[in-house]
Chain A
Amino acid sequence: MGAEFVQFSLTPVLIGVLSAIACALPGNFLILRRQALIGDAISHVVLPGIVVAFLLTGMISAVPMLLGAAGAALVAVVLIEAVKRLGNIEPGAAMGAIFTSMFAAGVLILEQTDTSSVHLDVEHALMGNLESLVWLRAEGWHSLLDPSMLATLPGELSRIAAVCAFVVVATLMFWRWLKIATFDEGFAQALGIPSTALGLGLVVVAAIAAVAAFDAVGSIIVIAMFICPPAAARLMTNRLGHQVVWSAVFATLSAVLGYVLAGYGPFWFGFEGAVSAAGMIATVSGIILAGACVFGPHRSRVGVAQQEAR
């Protein structure tokens, strides 16, 4: 684990871990609120936002793309609410209609316009390009202590680190509100907790996490991290606090294991080359969820209740 690791693997692994945690934390509450699909919706609608931002500015720089993506996420949330209320349609159906339409529109625009000259294509949107986020200028672990070297770190790393810190602080700060309003919204409102604003705030935080992660690792990993680590964590414990910690552990594990397996896995099995790290991270998170379904101590809560009743 020397200079080469710092140069080629440290930053992608860190970006993967931070993206996974930033998405998994709000994912816990989205799942408990039966809104898991919102994460899916956000990560899909980010694509047209990015494409439109690119077409308007003509450049592939981070700030306009992040703004475009965030704008698209907000447009999607408003449209979903509108379809739900005006059409009196079930929330899952409203989300499905909006996010598939917006994603499809993004793919169409992407195909019809000349974006071939830049690295913006459907594959990039889905998979991101984690492997390319390397720290070429680094010379070894000591580079981490050299400010002039740190300045050459990929911009994605500082962005996702800031977003991850923001998500952690927001979760801790509004913990009590999130807990009460997620469990019993009517009671929360009777206490004077602004549960509607809180619900919107949760979606906005999830959107920010999704946009930042999307930029680095693509939409597949975003969808997987919103759902798989929290869902697996729910099967490990019956306490909300423990569940959120477990989800961060599973997110980290998925990112590290997924990155390593993508890089070395094919070689271990006698194949040449490597597979997509983002795809492998999402796959590992799915395998962890499957494992939790089979081995998790609280996997069949109905069964537990029946046992106790006997």
Chain B
Amino acid sequence: MSRMAQPTIATDHGHSIDPARAPRDTALAIHGLTVSYGEKPAVFSVDAAFKAKGMSAIVGPNGAGKSTLLKAALGVIPRLSGEVYVFGETIRDARARVAYVPQSASVDWDFPTTVMDVVQMGLYRKVGLLGRLSGPVRAQARECLDRVGMADFANRQIGQLSGGQQQRVFLARALAQDADLYLLDEPFAGVDAATERAIIGVLKSLKDEGKAVVAVHHDLATVRDYFDHVFLINVRRIAEGPVETTFTTEHLQATYGGRLAATHLDELAVADGAR
């Protein structure tokens, strides 16, 4: 089917979107994304398609461009080239449908604010720059805090939280955004086992509600337990697909090169015999 023959949809900003490249049933569609901080590209010509339902992991070695991919898709950092569509719309039109959990180490936890304040930041798209935080909206923030098991900490200064608690607060803020696509940057980095269980529980419940969850993930041992879709990246896209068929020794070898011992790879990946 020729792309030329496809009808196009005009956006608010005058561009036209080719529906074949921006399918509405794909939560996050990325085409030819290239990002560079200096002369070397951090992400080079990457294509990706994350389904509208389910849990996907973005996996790759340090410096492979995992976080960069997320940030560039969100427009947090500029991209050199490429297109990004969220549920068939440009990111500018779809912001209200996307929740973002940055790496918790990326902010200053000494900032003078409380847990509740941080969660209420997630309500920004509902209340706007000058809108009041009404009772029902506040109640919603409290519910989100309850959902991550942090309701008792609402009035705590954020600097007094442990790493795991900070990560839960970030997740509660994302829940307050009430989105259809949740993008998380290393949600399990530096958290305790109880927090990891709590977070994965919330993410799985989001999946059950029909939401899309995409997480940068660094722990290869839990990929198969937590996720159903995996995207392997090392600056370029290595492989993408269901965990059972994509998370293989061969693909991991291609992603990590010599950085993982072969025996280790065999333990982690789906047995090649399954092919």
Q: Which residues of A pack against B, CB within 8 Å?
A: 32, 173-174, 176-177, 179-180, 182-184, 186-187, 189-193, 234, 237-240, 242-243, 301, 304-305, 308-309
Chain B residue with minimal CB distance to A238?
A: B157
Decide: A189 near B112, CB < 8 A? Known: A174-B129, A183-B107, A238-B157.
no
Interface centre among A176, A182, A237, A243 (most CB of B within 10 A): A176
Write out, one digit per residue, whether chain B residues 210-233 have a CB within 8 A of any chain A CB (1) or not (0). 000000000000000000000000
Contact A301 B110 (CB under 8 A): yes
Decide: A187 near B121, CB < 8 A? Known: A174-B129, A176-B130, A238-B159.
yes
CB distance from A137 to the nearest CB of B (A): 42
Contact A187 B113 (CB under 8 A): no
CB distance from B133 to the nearest CB of A (A): 10
The range of chain B's interface size is 20 to 34
Chain A residue with minimal CB distance to B133?
A: A176
Chain A residue with minimal CB distance to B162?
A: A309
Q: Quick check: is B71 within 8 A (CB to CB) of the other chain?
A: yes
Contact B113 A184 (CB under 8 A): no
Of B52-60, B94-102, B143-151, B264-272, the segment with at least 4 beta carbons within 8 Å of chain A is B94-102
Contact B112 A243 (CB under 8 A): yes
Within 8 A of A (CB), among B134-164: 157, 159-160, 162
Decide: A186 near B160, CB < 8 A? Known: A191-B95, A192-B95.
no
The 26 sampled A-B contact pairs (Cβ below 8 Å) are: A32-B112, A176-B124, A180-B124, A183-B107, A183-B113, A184-B121, A186-B100, A187-B100, A190-B76, A190-B95, A190-B100, A190-B102, A193-B124, A238-B112, A238-B113, A238-B159, A239-B112, A239-B113, A239-B114, A240-B111, A240-B117, A242-B112, A243-B112, A301-B160, A304-B157, A305-B159
Contact A240 B112 (CB under 8 A): yes
Q: Which residues of A contact B71 (CB under 8 A)?
A: 186
Q: Which residues of A contact B162 (CB under 8 A)?
A: 309
Contact A191 B113 (CB under 8 A): no
CB distance from A273 to the nearest CB of B (A): 42
In the complex, what distance in Å separates the CA atom of A135 from the CA atom of B125?
50
In the complex, what distance in Å separates the CA atom of A309 from the CA atom of B165?
13
Q: Quick check: is B63 within 8 A (CB to CB) of the other chain?
A: no
CB distance from A229 to the nearest CB of B (A): 14
Q: Quick check: is B75 within 8 A (CB to CB) of the other chain?
A: yes
A187, A191, A234, A304: the one contacting B112 at CB < 8 Å is A234
In the complex, what distance in Å separates the CA atom of A32 from the CA atom of B107?
11
Contact A189 B114 (CB under 8 A): no
Contact A183 B159 (CB under 8 A): no
Q: Which residues of A contact B130 (CB under 8 A)?
A: 173, 176
Q: Which residues of A contact B125 (CB under 8 A)?
A: 191-192
Chain A residue with minimal CB distance to B124?
A: A191
Contact A182 B111 (CB under 8 A): yes
Q: Which residues of B contact A234 (CB under 8 A)?
A: 112
Q: Which residues of B contact A177 (CB under 8 A)?
A: 129
Contact A32 B159 (CB under 8 A): no
In the complex, what distance in Å separates the CA atom of A183 from the CA atom of B111?
7
Q: Which residues of A contact B107 (CB under 8 A)?
A: 183-184
Q: Which residues of A contact B76 (CB under 8 A)?
A: 186, 189-190
Q: Quick check: is B2 within 8 A (CB to CB) of the other chain?
A: no
Write out, one digit per residue, whether chain B residues 80-103 have a CB within 8 A of any chain A CB (1) or not (0). 000000000000100100101010
Q: Quick check: is B238 within 8 A (CB to CB) of the other chain?
A: no
Decide: A238 near B75, CB < 8 A? Known: A305-B159, A308-B160.
no
Add 8 more A-B contacts to A180-B121, A238-B113, A240-B112 (CB < 8 A). Answer: A173-B129, A177-B129, A182-B111, A183-B113, A187-B173, A238-B157, A301-B160, A304-B157
Chain A residue with minimal CB distance to B159?
A: A301
Contact A183 B118 (CB under 8 A): yes
Contact A184 B110 (CB under 8 A): no
Q: Which residues of A contact B110 (CB under 8 A)?
A: 301
B74, B92, B111: the one contacting A32 at CB < 8 Å is B111
